Amino acid sequence: MSINELFTTFANNLLPILLIAAAGYILGKFLTVDSRTIGRIVFYIFSPLLVFNLMVTSQLNLKQAALTVEYTAAVIAIMGLLALIFGKIFQLERPHLLAVILTVAFGNTGNYGLPLVKFAFGDEALAVASIFYVTTTILFNTIGVIIASLGHTDLKSAILGVFKLPIVYGVMLALIVKAAGLEIPVPLSRTIEIAASGAIPAMIVLLGLELTKIEWSHSFRALGIGVLTKLILGPVVGLLLAGLFGMQGHSHQGSVIEAAMPAAVATTVVATEYQLESSLVTAIVFLGTILSPLTLTPLIVYLSR
């Protein structure tokens, strides 16, 4: 793994994402941009149609999709458990501990993960990554919300909240189309393709806009645990579980990259909503995103071999 190989991999796969995100960050700093509105456009239109398009057009079968769902759940559970263990070892206060668990368990598998997988490994790996993303979204909006709410949200409400996620209906419709062998009319298929093509650029710009909301935390111990656990152990857990689950080829590549992503931007929204050390959460997200090329670049090189 030479310096030249690492630099080329970074320049071709990570740098384009970081440059577009930087443009979004600068835009958010100098102009009044409503990132919430853009987020809603991505959430309600682009993301569901992107996942639908990927599932319908890919060679991914139901067995592979189910395996990816199981793998994703295992990654999230183990990363959350590791965060809990390290938090207890370093005696973090309860609010800090919960913030670290939330950010370590749930990675930025959408705004950052999907474009990275597409650039590095292509559309077949992207189809697998989209299943990882959907599963993460569902678990984050149930288990993640419960963790952040500290008992303010009951399990029933969290589960019912899943049915408010447009992306779930995108998956359900895609499964119906694939199972029934339906052919989508050309006007509709082209509409879906246009929206799907706009999803990834919008996600990257939104990533930059959301990072403008950074608040630095004075809990440097919790910050260090959150960032280092996610960036260093994320790839390790991803690789080990991929081997245990027998993943190969594009399935292996797409899943491991998603497992290695830094903390999700969405955690900042939930942390703010439930008063869960939002400054610590945003600091972990920001620092983890900035430092992520240091771990993701060699991981991409390794998975490409």
pLDDT of amino acid 48: 86
Considering only residues 181 and 22, tell me which one the structure prediction assigns the higher pLDDT: 22
Highest mean pLDDT out of 134-148, 203-217, 245-259: 245-259
Distance CA 210, CA 53 (A): 26
pLDDT more than 90, % of the chain? 37
Q: Read out DSSP for 12-74?
A: IIIHHHHHHHHHHHHHHHHS---HHHHHHHIIIIIHHHHHHHHHHHS---HHHHHHHHHHHHH
Distance CA 180, CA 195 (A): 23
pLDDT range class, residue 252, cuts 50, 70, 90? very high
Q: What is the pTM of this model?
A: 0.86
- Sign of the torsion formed by the C-alpha atoms of 100, 102, 105 and 111: negative
User: Mean of the per-residue pLDDT values for the chain?
Assistant: 86
pLDDT range class, residue 257, cuts 50, 70, 90? very high
Fold topology of 3-304: Na+/H+ antiporter like fold (1.20.1530)
Highest mean pLDDT out of 33-42, 60-69, 109-118, 293-302: 293-302
Q: Where are the domains of the chain?
A: 3-304
Distance CA 88, CA 185 (A): 56
Q: Give the tens place of pLDDT for each residue, 52-87.
A: 887 787 777 778 888 999 999 999 999 999 999 999
